Amino acid sequence: MLTFVNIVVAGLLTGCVYGLMALGLSVIFGVIRIINFAHGAMMVVAMYFVLVANQKFGLDPLVAMPLIAAALFLAGYALQRGVINRYIARPEHEQFLLLLAVSIILTSSTLIAFGPDARSVHVDYAYDSYEIGGVLVDKVRALAALGAISGVAALWAFFRFTRTGKSIRACADNHVGAEVVGLNVKQLYAMTFGIGATCVGASGALLLLLVDVQPYIADDYTLLAFIIVIIGGLGSMPGALLGGLLVGVSEAVSGFVIMPSLKSMFSFGLLIIVLLVRPQGLLGRHV
Amino acid sequence: MARGLPMRPGLFASATFRTEFRETDMADRLNRREFGLGAGATGALVMTGGLCRAQAQVPPLKLGVLAPRSGFEALIGQGCQRGFEVAVPLLRDMGYAIELMSADTESKPDVARVQAEKLIAEGAHMLCGAWDSGQTAAVAQVSEQHGVPLVINIAADPKITEQGYKFVFRNFPNAPMLMTGALSLLKDLFEVTGTTPQTAVLMAVNDTFGQAAQNAINVLLPKLGMPFRLVDTITYDPQAKDLSVEVAKAKAARADLHIGVTRLNDGILMVREMVKQRYEPMGIVSPGSPGFYERPLIKALGKYAEYCFSNNPWMDPNQALTKTIDAAFAKTFPDDPFDINVGFSFEAALIAADAYKRAGSTNAQALVEALRATDIANRVMIGGPIRFDEKGQNVGNRLASLQIRNGKPTVVLPPTNAEAKPVFPMPGWSQRM
Amino acid sequence: MNLLISSTMQRRSAMALAFFVAVMLVLPLFAGNYVVSMLVVVLFSAYVGQAWNLMMGYAGQLSLGHALYVGLGAYISGALFVHYGLPPWIGMLAGMAAAGLAGVVIAALSFRFGVTGVYFALLTIAFAEFTRIAFNHFAWVGGSSGLYLPVVTLTRDDIVHLRGSPTMFYYVLLALTLAALALSHLLLGRRVGFYWRAIREDQEAAQAAGIDVFRYKVAAVALSATMTAIAGALMAFYDNNLYPDTAFGISRSIDIITAPIIGGLGTLFGPILGAFVLTMLSETMTSLSANLGVNGLKQWIYGATLLVIVMLQPAGLWPWLKTLLRLDEGKL
């Protein structure tokens, strides 16, 4: 029983980081309606930056998180403004191929720069754990979850209270209306992509505390982000977080109850069911 | 006879030689002799315009070597490649003459097949490779079709030598042999240290090694008279990035012995989780799979890697040839480990060169007969002399039990090859310095 | 359809096609095994690309999990051969049936529940991954250790048992590729082809015009899946070993779609051209990066090329090449 609680707690904590990661994808789709297949690759690049910061300057990923978030914001902004903007109205397969190409370029760049071996970050508390009433809570995981929650909170505040945030929401709700009112839609789209990239960067920094980075994990996380976002609801921020928690816990529980090697199968099964029964996801708006 | 695209073998071979040097990222620490050899051979080959008759004496055997140098298995493939490369000058000193033609399988069977065809089209007399069973099976097919002998350095799937091939030879134990050897060594470990676990839990990655382990363990436990019983089997996906659930399950099994069949990355994750979850079995053993002898794991886990066991084929510390290669390797590739990828790749090149010397010609049939008669006692890996049975399999390789001590995989069993005495049970996590 | 195609244009197209076929037929006589084995890869890609093109280029349904059908075709025919000695061409029929059924189920479920576009694409990925993991645990087909087909070394080619040299497979695949070309051409000119294109252009308008959209979409998926399974079965007997991760894997699905998109979606010859271009590019990259010894360079150049083509020639290379060769008005 205690083992079960431990596992669920770990799943929830991991789920928070997943949520932040999926948030980036959800924001981009919700506003620009483009499917970012380079999501995982961008995150891996962010992870490598944080790794280098850790190895060269001894920066803890938690400290590096805001820095990498800012860096990725600029990168995302530039990418959208420079390349992706023209593809917004294009057919889906062209968008897909464009972002797939970007993903391949990013992944192979990390491969060229860092080689294929898995690298991990070194923090002093890497092996620490708290014991709360018999439940073992992994310190690293707890801190990562905390970071993720603060990231989500910051984003929520941005969209709720700042002018730019509200403008972006306006674009998402009604593109034409936004233009009529005089909003610089192009600029806002770029900002949105930048923000999505920020989430990716921040979650990458946190994820590096939990897993080791290597070039090939990019596609797995792109897929995971999609599963989360679809289950939670494409374009819904609380949906992304909820989806993250759900996937985190269901992976843990299914691994425990059935066989861990069937974990992913369970997640995909869940995806199929959600897509068929409620394609807008748990909290999404009707498509 | 080079058929296929109009590329002269000479031109490509010289490019290949250049490849060897570029790929060694320690370009500044090149062995002068090797550079001289390469430049000389390049010049000679280019001058003769394509035909490989550079030296007046016996022309070198053109050995096509295949390894997954890029893609998912890149780290391992690059290790194998280093083994092949360090073999060339050493074999020359021993009186053999080989010339490498390298190809990258990119960790994919389709590419392996096409690259094997390419090497043969460019005049390779023999092939070596390819570490991964799927890629090796693809190369074996091509080998057999063309009647070009293949010497397998590493590949564990038993079916490769069950296909009735005449041209394929394997100097590596197949999966059942690996597991039998690995589990027998466990029994020896208990006897030598006087500690016997009652129960064990098996945590296995769901790939070729893991499946072989699962299949074998159920059969071999009663057959070998193992003293413990298996209380749980936990399998996980090779792509798993988080093993917290798996380790939690293993811990819940409350077994004395933890048997982990892992690869490199999941091996690291597994031990890390075990530390975090304060799961301290009597010992951690990895039978017949990579991971627990690989340097990145030892580096990543630091003091927590100590006392982990890995039962695998290994280099024989008593053999003179092992010491020679160790020294040469340390000079040429000072930052890279001398492990079984290097050892077996060297042996594959040695087998090829030796057969060529005895055959006296590059005729395929002569080479095959020479290979069948192989009997090499002066070798690198632990085991009897290298010999092949009628299926082309070497059944004389033996496994060793390695324990990580002071940051190095150290042979602790069998006693005849041991470098140190095994420590079992292992000290707890909090007791590590 | 352009009924004003001049007979000169039609003749030019026909001649171009005839030339292509002639070259492909005699190529193995001059080229060595290396080139032939490379062309086998090209033809696999070209054929499956055409099957995918039917679904995407004509009916407009994006499938990102087509490896599912390849895997089903390969594993079913392979396993039946290994366990029961069933001849490959018969096992292939079983594989085709299974793949076709899978396609119908996926399509019917999706379209009945209104799942289209990107959601449908993600659903196809989910099904493929689900099956991949399932097969990794399926002992009857060898699980993750793989399925090995017993190989018999013969001195001559045996097409009935699909045992032989790469040249034999080359001709079988060439025949299939040309058959797929012919089939696509045929279907384009008939009602089903028109209905498909109407659905692709504007599904609601098509529905309003009285086309049974659901039925034709499912038919497109089913046909595409069945055709793809044939290639899967051939792959099983060519490679003689199958692993769930390579057979059903997402990288295979991505490889399947890049050739037709690069070549030209919705065109007859596009997938074939795409297959040639990408394989040649890949081989060139291999040689180049082998000489430079940088791990990952090949993938980088591949990605960059993809990016350039998508940005400059989004309709694919074939339409551009067609203009160059002045085959514009032709039926290809």
- Please state, for a pLDDT cut of 70, what percent of chain B lies above it: 87
Chain A residues touching C310 at Cβ < 8 A: 94, 97-98, 101
The larger pLDDT score, comparing residue B17 to residue C33, is at: C33
pLDDT at B50 over 70: no
Span C244-250, average pLDDT: 91
C158, β-bridge pairs: C163
Please determine, for residue B9, whether its predicted confidence score (pLDDT) is greater than 60: no
Q: What is the pLDDT of residue B33?
A: 46
- For A241-272, the DSSP string reads HHHHHHHHHHHHHHHHHS-GGGHHHHHHHHHH
Please, which pLDDT band fits residue A285 given cuts at 50, 70 and 90?
low
Cis peptide before A260 (omega within 30 of 0): no
Closest to C318 (Cα-Cα) out of C49, C24, C8: C49
pLDDT in the model for residue C47: 96
Question: Chain A residue with minimal CA distance to C123?
Answer: A272
Residue B107 contacts A, CB cutoff 8 Å: no
- Please write the tens of the pLDDT for every residue from C156-196: 778 888 888 889 999 999 999 999 999 999 998 899 989 98
Does residue B28 surpass a pLDDT of 80?
Answer: no
Residue B213, pLDDT score: 87
How many A-B residue pairs are in contact by the CB < 8 A criterion?
94
Q: What is the pLDDT of residues B347-404, one digit of tens each?
A: 999 999 999 999 999 999 999 999 999 999 999 999 999 999 999 999 999 999 999 9
Taking the Cβ of residue C290 and every Cβ of chain B, the question of whether any pair is shorter than 8 Å is answered with yes
Dihedral angle, C-alpha C191, C197, C200, C204, nearest 10 °: -50
User: For all residues of chain C together, what is the average pLDDT?
Assistant: 87
Tell if the CB–CB gap between B206 and A261 is shorter than 8 Å: yes
Q: What is the average per-residue pLDDT within B235-257?
A: 89
Is residue B41 over pLDDT 80? no
For residue C4, pLDDT over 60 is answered with no
Q: State residue B22's pLDDT score.
A: 37
Residue C230: closest CA among C196, C179, C156, C168: C179
Confidence of residue B48 (pLDDT cuts 50, 70, 90): very low
- Res C163: pLDDT: 84
pLDDT of B15 above 70: no
Band of pLDDT at residue A177, cut at 50, 70 and 90: confident
Given a cut of 70, whether residue B113 has pLDDT beyond it is yes
Q: Using one digit for the tens of pLDDT, what is the confidence trace for C127-144? A: 999 999 999 989 899 888
Mean pLDDT value across residues B317-341: 93
Res. B32 pLDDT band, cuts 50 70 90:
very low
Contact A7 B248 (CB under 8 A): yes
Residue-wise pLDDT tens digits, B200-224: 999 999 888 888 888 888 889 889 8
Determine the Cα–Cα distance for residues B333 and B342; give it in Å rounded to an integer. 11
* 8 Å CB contact of C130 and A269: yes
Report whether pLDDT(A277) > 90. Answer: no
Chains in contact with B, where contact means 3 or more Cβ–Cβ distances below 8 Å, are: A, C
pLDDT value of residue C328: 67
What is the domain range of residue A122?
A: 2-277
| Structure tokens that stand for B40 in this block | 């000389």
Q: What pLDDT, on the 0 to 100 scale, is given for residue B12? A: 31
The dihedral through the CA atoms of A72, A78, A83, A89 has a sign that is positive
Mean pLDDT calculated for residue range C44-50: 95
Q: Does C239 touch chain B (CB under 8 A)?
A: yes
Q: What confidence score (pLDDT) does residue B184 get? A: 92
| pLDDT of A260 | 84
Q: Among A99-113, C52-66, C209-223, which is the least confidently predicted range? A: C52-66
Residue ranges covered by each domain of chain B: 16-173+318-372, 176-314+399-431
Chain B, 82 to 111: residues with Cβ < 8 Å from chain C are: 102-104, 106, 108-111
Q: What pLDDT, on a 0 to 100 scale, did the predictor assign at position A83?
A: 81
pLDDT given for residue C6 in this prediction: 59
Note the pLDDT of residue C320.
87
Residues B216 and B233: their CA atoms lie apart, in Å, by 13
pLDDT reading at A93 higher than 80: no
Residue of C nearest to B113 (CA): C37
Least confident range of A179-183, B66-70, C127-131, C294-298: C294-298
| C199: pLDDT strictly greater than 80 | yes
**Chain mean pLDDT for chain B:** 85
Q: How large is the average pLDDT for residues C248-269?
A: 88
Mean pLDDT of the region A233-245: 85
Confidence band, pLDDT 50/70/90 cuts, at residue A263 = confident
Q: Is the dihedral of CA A132, A138, A139, A142 positive or negative?
A: negative
Report the alpha-carbon distance of residue B244 to residue B237 in Å, rounded. 13
Is A254 within the bounds of a domain? yes
- CATH number for the domain including A91? 1.10.3470
pLDDT tens-place string over residues A23-69: 988 888 878 877 788 999 999 999 999 999 988 888 888 888 888 88
* pLDDT, position C25: 92
Helix axes C33-53, C250-263, angle to 10 degrees: 80
Q: Is the pLDDT of residue C331 over 60?
A: no
Residue A284 domain-assigned?
Answer: no
Which of B72, B236, B269 lies at the smallest CB-CB distance from A260? B236
| pLDDT number for residue C293 | 66
Whether B199 and chain C come into contact, CB under 8 Å, resolves to no
In a domain, A181, yes or no: yes
Kindly state whether B208 is in contact with chain C, defined as any CB-CB distance less than 8 angstroms. Answer: yes
Structural domain contains residue A262 = yes
What CATH number has the domain spanning B16-173+318-372?
3.40.50.2300
Average pLDDT over residues B28-38: 45
Mean pLDDT score, B334-339: 90
Task: Kindly state the tokens that stand for A129.
Answer: 């754990």
Domain residue ranges in chain C:
32-250
Which residues are within 8 A (CB) of C204 and not within 5 positions of it... i.e. 6 or more apart?
none
Are the Cβ atoms of C250 and A272 closer than 8 angstroms?
A: no
A282 lies in some domain = no
Check A97 against C123: CB less than 8 A apart: no
Q: Looking at domain B176-314+399-431, which CATH architecture does it have?
A: 3-Layer(aba) Sandwich (3.40)
Q: What is the mean pLDDT of residues B151-158?
A: 93
Question: Residue A209 — pLDDT band, cuts 50, 70, 90?
Answer: confident
Average pLDDT over residues A100-118: 89
pLDDT score of B57: 64
Over range B285-309, report the average pLDDT: 91
Which of the pair, B51 or B186, is modelled with greater confidence?
A: B186
pLDDT greater than 80 at residue C323:
yes
Banded model confidence at residue B323, pLDDT cuts 50, 70, 90: very high
Does A116 fall in a domain?
Answer: yes
For residue C37, the chain B residues in CB contact (below 8 A) are 113-114, 117, 142
Region A101-109: what's the mean pLDDT?
A: 92
Nearest to B237 among A6, A212, A264 (CB): A264
B48-57, B186-195, B229-238, C133-142 — which is least confidently predicted?
B48-57
Chains that touch A (3 or more CB pairs under 8 A): B, C
Q: In angstroms, what separates the C-alpha of C245 from chain A's closest C-alpha?
A: 13
Per-residue model confidence (pLDDT) at position A276? 83
Q: Is residue B299 pLDDT above 70, yes or no?
A: yes
| pLDDT above 70 coverage of chain A, percent | 99
Query: Quick one: what percent of chain C has pLDDT higher than 90?
Result: 42
Task: Quote the number of domains for chain A.
Answer: 1
Residue B25: its pLDDT value, please?
40
